[in-house]
Amino acid sequence: MKTQELAIKPKMNVILEVDNKMLDEVVVVAYGTAKKGAFTGSAGVVKTEQIEKRQVSDVTNALAGAVAGVQIQSSNGQPGTSAKVKIRGVGSINASSDPLYVVDGIPYDGDISSINSQDIESLTVLKDAASTALYGARGANGVIMITTKKGTSGKAAINFDAKWGVNSRMIKNYDVMTDVVDYMDHAYQALYNAGKYTLGYDDAKSNQYANSYLPVKSKGGLGYQIYTLPEGESLYGLDGKMNPNAKLGYSDGNYYYTPDNWADEIFSNKSRQEYNLNVSGSSDKANYYVSFGYLDDQGIIEGSGFTRYSTRAKGDYQVKKWLKVGANLGYTYSNSRYPGEQTSTASSGNAFLMANMIAPIYPLYVRNADGSLMMNRGRKVYDYGDGVSTKFSRSFMSISNPAGDLIYNKDEYLHDIVNANWYADFTPIEGLTISARYGMNLDSQRYNLLGNVYSGQSASYGGTAYQGHSRKWGFDQQYIATYRKTFNEDHNLDVMIGYDGYKWSEEVVEASGQNLYNPENFHVNNAIDQLIGYGYGNSYATEGYIGRVNYDYKNTYYGSVSFRRDGSSRFHPDHRWGNFWSASAAWILSNESFLEDAKWIDLLKFKASFGQQGNDMIGNYYAYIDQFKMTGANGIFSDGSLYYKGNPDLTWETSTSFNTGFDFSMFNSRFNGSIEYFLRQSGDMLYYKPVGPTAGYQEIPMNVGSMRNSGLELDLNYAIIKNKNITWDVNLNASFIKNKIIELHPDLEGELINSSRIYTEGESMYRMYLVKYAGVDPETGTAMYWAKDKEGNAIKTADYSLASNYKEATDDLLPTVYGGFGTSLNLYGFDASIQLSYQLGGQIYDSGYARFMHGGNSSYAGTNWHKDIYNAWTENNRNTDVPRLNAEDKYASSQSDRWLTSSNYLSLNNITIGYTLPKVLTNKFLVDRLRVYFAADNVALLSARKGLDPRQSYTSATTALYTPIRTVSGGISVTF
Amino acid sequence: MKTKYIVSACAFSALTLNSCVDLDTFPEDKIITSDQKEEVAENDPSKAEAGVNAVFTQFSSYASIITESERHNDIGYPGLMLFMDSNGADFVSDDNGYNWMGNSLTFDDRIFTAYECRMMWGVMYNQIYAANNVVTSVGENPDDPTLQFYLAQALATRAFNYWVLAQNYQFNYTSHKSSPCVPIITEQNAATVSTEGCTRSTVEEVYMQIMNDINKAIGFLENSTIKRRDKRYIDFAVAYGLRARINLTMGNWSDAAKDAENAINNTSATPYTINELKRPAFDTSTDNAWMWGILIAESDRVVTTGICNFPSHMGSLNYGYAWYSGGRQINKELYKSIPETDVRKGWWLNEDVASPNLNEEEKELVEYYFGPYTQVKFAPYNDELETSTNACDIPLMRVEEMYLIKAEGEAMSGNVTGAKATLESFLRDYRDPEYTCKASSPEAMQEEIYRQRRIELWGEGMNWFDVMRLNKGVDRRGAGYPNASSVFNIQPGDPILLWRIPEKEIQANPALSNEDNNEAVPVPSPVPDIE
């Protein structure tokens, strides 16, 4: 503290100015909190101000670019779904890399989207062993501590916030053909070339061949006739140009066929609205926070959306001097309209796949012969391209029309989520606190599915009904004793011992039926055929004994050791207990005399930690034991089909971490940040060792090998201007990360190949194993791939099956650096902020692009083309790397390193602009604070190719997924 | 002030009362652990049979090979039947996105990373695993008649499994006895194969294993008092039928004929009559002609998937993929060789997309979806037209085949007259009253019987074994293949005919390396079709 010199006045309040805010800030740590100055580990914090700005229905999405060392990947933009969070890389080949979530001190296995992000005070990402070792078997991938809000001010405050916005597609499609004639020309060319180059026809016969197969669903034709021609004329002339007499639109007497724009019909801008109300306050003895929230996010396609009602009541009370009790109850109801298949990249039910990939020549609606839309009792009739809705059968994804399915099917998940924590702290003697803490999380989910009777696949079954109910229940109990004492003024000691037991179970019942009586009713009793019921349960448990000792001398030298003995039900009783520990230290250099003169330094801390955590997330709950399928019917049982080969010796994956670095704060806290180096090495990796299928199974879980992630993290914040009326901050974080496989199973002799992935000792795990593309044969125009001849010399071949014997490892795909940056400005009541994230130096397999670059083969017939296909080989364009169009060429766009693309990106995640009305004005209406704002989320993405979203994963990206949603909203926030 | 100590003491005692978390957890599901199995067997000894039944359940296991993505042709042995038939020249189909056998049509299934390549291998060895488990648990020489019956089931199916493998991974027995075939996994090495791997045995060694197993099975079944409950199980006659097949494959002609005759004499099965074949059939094991089959229940996973089952890919009269893939046609030349007087002519649609076997409603349906030569041999489940419940049983052995084996065995062992009599009486009684066999040499007889087998067993997954056994090539010219890219003329002995060991096996089996695999050769190049 600074000393303050004050003139003595009769009545005076002494307010000590806090010299170093950082030191007093509190960090949420395992089983408690620590002052930031005393914290010896590594943590990143996202505060409520940052969270509140983001319009996310799931808070994990707000972590993008926000914390050094944390990377967010998302391959599903459906509102209410979580992003994948990777803290300091991926530690294992097969085991999960998901972090552990801890909500108000209780491990949480539920759906993160059930927690209203507006109720969250802070997200603390614990990254190193010193911070996470106390979570033992579950801490290896890092821990995200979610702390909910509580009452702060003495006076009760009422906050109300409302925002209304519009969703749109953030990622637009690749640069594909939109013009009907353009597409037809190329489809014709592919057939013509097949006749000419493969079947050996002359020009006239090739032309005739192409004209006759173009409207047919065979040999690469499109399956639809959409042009009307004068009697006896062909669609394409010998010059390869469309007959000028051809008129778009064709009637076969019953139906009229003309293209629709699928993307326009399937995607639409929809609304998002959110209202939050909370009341909070505190007194000497009590503290309370009560909230209600409503969110309705309509997504961007029909039948998709997320509606959530959430309430939370949190309070604590100092009953006696030695007894404090508290509770935190949250209830969430959500209705998630979550049509299946929207992330299945090969499914005909995927609207994104259809809208993005379909050639611009197909009708989406069925039309009467006169061209009017066909209606069935007021419903539009959709063309499923199955030869049933109309006479034609679509070459691309026949029997499907997600636009119809999304409207007439019904997929909904109704969740009732109760999240309740209780605690009591006893302080029988000075310095000793004994806490009992119970946390319960109940997730009751009901799943209703109606497969419509009007059209499509479900209609073939007479409609389908499905009802499912699952109940997931987690219960955690913690008993912790903490003793704090200061000896001789300078020696501070803090000892903790405790127990943490957690059990989780799920119970599921499901029923389904086909052939519906009432077409609009999803209840199974409404069905008469194929009535089937299911019911099953699973459970999982862990328990741990924990201990920690913190010591510091003069608030300058800090040391901490922690220990946990942990058991998990995933392993055999003989191998289920493991010991996890950490040791760490910090030194506040700025307290030392040698830095006394450097007044500009507020804080300089050196810290280092070392320790071990575990990972038990092998995926199967009973991985140590062989599991069989029990099946049968009509009184005959069968129980010998192996379902899962277990391994009784299986135990933890151990992760050993080292972390060191500096935390600093300078120039009156205007410049602060941290720089850290980390090394995280997993050993005894949980890993499914492939077994030759001759064994009767294909893999066995094992603890084998080790892998290392290491890197540097930088986190900087600078207040460029900081005065009473203007503050302007900038922030930047960057993470440099390297991955290296240290050791694999000895059987593998240093290398594991798993189809298109290769894992080699000494190399990154993010390498692909691909056929190498050798460009186009200038003579023939066919795609060439590298292979070897009998002498082992490299040769180019058009035979992909030969080349697939000579695949090669690619470079490391992992980006060199990723992170985020942003700035915020407050200016006389106006506020503005912008937040971005980025990634540089990596590569990604652009499978979306690959699909658009096909050569017109029948398996791709009716798939749209990327405009890069204009550069395809022709006799007049021989020097190109795009193979010829040819409906009989199978390997024009086969999997190869041709599709590797830079994964660099810059993503504009959020822009917020607000204005807070002057208090003098608002106070007249008894309003403390009134702010109006505008916020835009997921604003833009810059990547190597339009349409490519490298944020999906480290290795591959596609456009056949629920695209991320851009939301632009206006809002108002009022505090009474 | 005392209370605080009392309450705190309670808190402490809670600390020690932490037995409430039980770390022994188990699934409560259709998935059961080996511990649970033991517990069940103790409480209810009748459940021991369930382990044996797995040998047969494994035949129609869904999605058990490809785990990383859902393949709608990963449906167990019936899937393999479709792959093998698609390899040949008799099973015509269009190569399109809804034809899940496209890779077998073009021989892309020989690429050792192909899904089909993994399925062919994995399905068979999973079946062997189930059989080995039974042998291990029953023991080699049980005295108890029930256990003997169980053991016979395991041994006979194991013989069948290796017989299928042997013909797919090497050329025929008579010419390739010492060539590498497949690894032999039995109860002897089942436990160590996952770590030590296993090399390919020779064709001769594999057939020795097969003969051993089937002989033992016949021994146990010969005097068995246990009556099989249904046709999923192997009885004395089926075991003889299997040995007849094996002997035929090995070129033991007279043994084959003898075994076939024994099978005919010991089975209650009688061939489909001409009358029975005036309608689509072959959908239920309760039909008289069936000796052995895969029994499918409505609640089986393959059925509840709706479209991931044999009838979906094959059937013209039920809902499924075939409606959208264009269905399965017979080789046009082969069809033309069937006389109008042969009842089997009605198993396929003629040039006018009609078959006398169909009623008006069926006719309308097939005209909508299909072209000429499409099969209407297989009936929909419960004969319900357009049904989406695809729970048809799958034939594995019909007694008709025994007559054909008998005739071929007789012919090739020199008894051409007897063979002719066998063939003519069978065909006149059951297929074509006006049938006359014009062949006069053993070879001509064999050729004629081959033609009959192609017709009789069409679509039942048997054709490929004949192609391999008789060292035929695959000449698809004139067969009516819709895609120019599927018209091949593959010569006998072309290495593309052999299936290849999947990359996964080569990589994970320490005893195998790339050099041990069947040769990697380019997929065949299309040739000009002939009308």
Interface touch A398/B98, C-beta < 8 Å: yes
Q: Can you give the pLDDT at residue A2?
A: 38
A79-89: pLDDT as tens digits: 888 888 888 88
At B15, the pLDDT band (50, 70, 90 cuts) reads low
Q: Give the mean pLDDT of A477-501.
A: 92
CB pairs A-B closer than 8 Å? 297
**What residue ranges define each of the domains in chain B, with the CATH number in brackets?**
1-226+494-531 (1.25.40.390), 296-392 (no CATH)
How big is chain A, counted in residues? 976
pLDDT at B362 over 80: yes
pLDDT at A1 over 50: no
CA dist A674 and A691 (Å) reads 46
Interface touch A693/B484, C-beta < 8 Å: no
CA dist B432 and B437 (Å) reads 11
A261-278: pLDDT as tens digits: 999 999 999 999 999 999
Chain B residues within 8 A of A700 when measuring between CB atoms? 194
Percentage with pLDDT > 90 across chain A = 62
pLDDT at A40 over 50: yes
Q: Report the residue of B58, B96, B184 to disrupt the A interface, i.e. the one with the largest count of A CBs within 10 Å.
A: B96
- ipTM score: 0.88
Distances (CA, A) of A452 to A369, A458, A516: 26, 6, 9
Chain B residues within 8 A of A747 when measuring between CB atoms? 195, 508, 510
Chain A residues within 8 A of B153 when measuring between CB atoms? none
Chain A residues within 8 A of B20 when measuring between CB atoms? 477, 501, 503
Q: What is the nearest CA distance from A436 to chain B, expressed in angstroms?
A: 7
- Name the residue among A900, A945, A961, A962 with its Cα closest to residue A174: A945
At B2, the pLDDT band (50, 70, 90 cuts) reads low
Interface touch A541/B54, C-beta < 8 Å: no
For chain B, give the mean pLDDT: 93
Chain A residues within 8 A of B130 when measuring between CB atoms? 640-642, 696
CA dist A21 and A25 (Å) reads 6
Asked if A201 and A195 count as a contact pair (C-beta separation under 8 A), the reply is yes
Q: Report the residue of A639, A788, A805 to disrupt the B interface, i.e. the one with the largest count of B CBs within 10 Å.
A: A639
CA dist A891 and A124 (Å) reads 49
Interface touch A693/B121, C-beta < 8 Å: yes
Interface touch A801/B110, C-beta < 8 Å: yes
Interface touch A692/B324, C-beta < 8 Å: no
At A188, the pLDDT band (50, 70, 90 cuts) reads very high
Q: CA angle, corner B391, sides to B387 and B393, nearest 5?
A: 130
pLDDT at A5 over 60: no
Task: Look up residue A648 and give its two tokens.
Answer: 């009784």
Amino acid at A847: S
Asked if A128 and A142 count as a contact pair (C-beta separation under 8 A), the reply is no
Percentage with pLDDT > 70 across chain A = 97
Interface touch B507/A698, C-beta < 8 Å: no
Q: Does B48 touch chain A (CB under 8 A)?
A: no
Interface touch A641/B51, C-beta < 8 Å: no
A561-612: pLDDT as tens digits: 999 999 999 999 999 999 999 999 999 999 888 888 888 898 999 999 999 9
pLDDT at B19 over 60: no
- Name the residue among B105, B502, B328, B490 with its Cα closest to residue A890: B105
CA dist B411 and B422 (Å) reads 10
Q: Which residue has the tokens 């003889």?
A: B240
A865-916: pLDDT as tens digits: 999 999 999 999 999 999 999 998 889 999 999 999 999 999 999 999 999 9
From edge to edge, which strands make up the β-sheet containing A843-846? Answer: A900-902, A843-846, A956-957
Q: CA angle, corner B458, sides to B521 and B112, nearest 5?
A: 25
Q: Can you give the pLDDT at residue B12?
A: 57
Residue A605, number of CB atoms within 10 A of its CB: 25
Q: Does B523 touch chain A (CB under 8 A)?
A: yes
B422-461: pLDDT as tens digits: 999 999 999 999 999 999 999 999 999 999 999 999 999 9
B194-228: pLDDT as tens digits: 889 999 999 999 999 999 999 999 999 998 889 99
- Name the residue among A272, A291, A266 with its Cα closest to residue A280: A291
Would you say the C-alpha torsion A351, A354, A357, A363 has a positive or negative sign? Answer: negative
Query: Could you tell me how many helices (H) and strands (E) chain B has, helices first?
Result: 21, 7
Asked if B284 and B392 count as a contact pair (C-beta separation under 8 A), the reply is yes
Task: Look up residue A129 and give its two tokens.
Answer: 């062993």
- Name the residue among A739, A764, A912, A926 with its Cα closest to residue A825: A912
Who's near A790: CB < 8 A, 6+ residues apart?
A: none
Chain A residues within 8 A of B123 when measuring between CB atoms? none
Asked if B320 and B418 count as a contact pair (C-beta separation under 8 A), the reply is no
Chain B residues within 8 A of A690 when measuring between CB atoms? 504, 507-508
Q: What is the nearest CA distance from B12 to chain A, expressed in angstroms?
A: 8
Q: Can you give the pLDDT at residue A254?
A: 92
Distances (CA, A) of B227 to A628, B284, B292, B360: 27, 20, 14, 42
Query: What residues form DSSP beta bridges with A514?
Result: A464, A529
Element (H, E) at A729: strand A726-743
Name the residue facing B8 among A428, A567, A627 (closest C-beta). Answer: A428
Residue A468, number of CB atoms within 10 A of its CB: 17
Who's near A124: CB < 8 A, 6+ residues apart?
A: A27, A28, A29, A43, A44, A45, A46, A144, A145, A147
pLDDT at A386 over 80: yes
Chain A residues within 8 A of B4 when measuring between CB atoms? 320, 322-323, 426-428
A223-253: pLDDT as tens digits: 999 999 999 899 999 999 999 999 999 999 9
Residues 472 through 501 of chain B touching chain A, CB cutoff 8 Å: 482-485
- Name the residue among A873, A831, A879 with its Cα closest to residue A856: A873
Percentage with pLDDT > 90 across chain B = 79
Q: Does B382 touch chain A (CB under 8 A)?
A: no
Alpha helices in A684-733, H assignment, sequence order:
none
Helices B399-412 and B442-456 meet at what angle, rounded to 10?
Answer: 170
Interface touch B509/A694, C-beta < 8 Å: yes
pLDDT at A51 over 90: no
Name the least confident of A148-162, A729-743, A902-916.
Answer: A148-162
Residue A198 DSSP one-character state: I
Q: Can you give the pLDDT at residue B400?
A: 98
CA dist A369 and A346 (Å) reads 33
Q: Which residue has the tokens 């694999």?
A: A744
Q: Can you give the pLDDT at residue A838?
A: 95
At A217, the pLDDT band (50, 70, 90 cuts) reads confident
Task: Look up residue A588 and give its two tokens.
Answer: 């506040």
Chain A residues within 8 A of B187 when measuring between CB atoms? none
Residue B166 DSSP one-character state: H
Query: What residues form DSSP beta bridges with A642?
Result: A628
DSSP A231-268: TT--SB-TTSPBPTT-EE-EE-SSEEE----HHHHHB-
Interface touch A428/B30, C-beta < 8 Å: no
Give backbone dihedrals phi and psi of A42, rounded to 5 degrees, phi first.
Answer: -125, 125
Q: Which residue has the tokens 């030349």?
A: B333
Alpha helices in A358-477, H assignment, sequence order:
402-408, 457-460
Higher pLDDT, A106 or A13: A106
pLDDT at A499 over 50: yes
Name the residue facing A633 among B129, B297, B503 (closest C-beta). Answer: B297
Would you say the C-alpha torsion B394, B399, B402, B403 has a positive or negative sign? Answer: negative
A915-953: pLDDT as tens digits: 999 988 888 888 889 999 999 999 999 999 999 999 988
At A78, the pLDDT band (50, 70, 90 cuts) reads confident
Interface touch B183/A434, C-beta < 8 Å: no
Q: Can you give the pLDDT at residue A599?
A: 86
Residue A195 DSSP one-character state: I
B381-391: pLDDT as tens digits: 999 999 989 99
DSSP A286-337: EEEEEEEEEEEE--SBTT-EEEEEEEEEEEEEEEETTEEEEEEEEEEEEEEE
Name the residue facing A426 among B4, B183, B306 (closest C-beta). Answer: B4
- Name the residue among A261, A191, A499, A240 with its Cα closest to residue A403: A261
Q: Give the mean pLDDT of A653-659.
A: 92
- Beta pairing, strands A843-846 & A956-957: parallel
Q: Can you give the pLDDT at residue A502?
A: 92
Residue B46 DSSP one-character state: G
pLDDT at B510 over 70: yes
